[in-house]
Amino acid sequence: MKDNTPSSPLPALPSHTKIVIVRSLWNEELTQSMEEGARRVLKEAGVKDIVTIAVPGAFEIPLACQRVIEEEKVHGVIALGVIIQGETHHGEEIARACTDGLMQVMLETSVPIVHGVLFTDSLKLAEERALGTVNKGSEVATALLHMIAKS
């Protein structure tokens, strides 16, 4: 699997940078692994203030992002979840609602939010992206650092 993480070095951020990870408890083994990948990258970049908020599922992620941005001074948010397509269209509906909600919150607040909510056709594909050599949490954390550095 190809690593799509930006190849430029991690940007230097102010020491007071605060990042919040909003992580779904659904498919917890996978989302926890993605959180660990994200935290690894953030710590490498010198971020010391990292807070995790756990929510039941992907549908609840946008609201948690909005609330934490409204209640606290945060420099960026990482949204992590795993949706695995089943036999109905429910997964598609949840993925679309989550994506639309994240975009809406980001545009309304001007706080960078990176989308690390996987939507796959199978558990195997989700495992490859969450537990494999390329960890989606690491990828989106890197992207967030670059977004914060540019703002």
The string of pLDDT tens digits covering residues 113-141 is 999 999 999 999 999 889 977 899 999 99
Percent of the chain as helix, strand, coil, to the nearest 5: 50, 20, 30
Tell me the pLDDT tens digit for each residue of 5-40.
555 667 667 778 899 999 999 999 999 999 999 999
Q: Are strands 76-84 and 49-55 parallel, antiparallel or unpaired?
A: unpaired
What is the longest distance spanned by two Cα atoms in the chain?
Answer: 47
Task: Please answer whether residues 1 and 134 qualify as being in contact, where contact means their C-beta atoms are separated by less than 8 angstroms.
Answer: yes
Task: Say whether 75 is catalytic.
Answer: no
Query: Does the annotation flag 84 for ligand binding?
Result: yes
For residue range 48-57, what is the model confidence (pLDDT) as tens digits?
999 999 999 9
Question: By the 8 A CB rule, do 66 and 123 touch?
Answer: no
Report CA torsion sign: 130, 133, 138, 139. Answer: negative
In angstroms, the CA 88 to CA 18 distance is 39
The CATH code of the domain at 18-150 is 3.40.50.960
Say whether pLDDT at 151 is over 70: no
Does 115 count as an annotated binding residue?
yes
Q: Which of 16, 75, 89, 90 is an active site residue? A: 90
Domain locations along the chain: 18-150
78 labeled binding residue: no
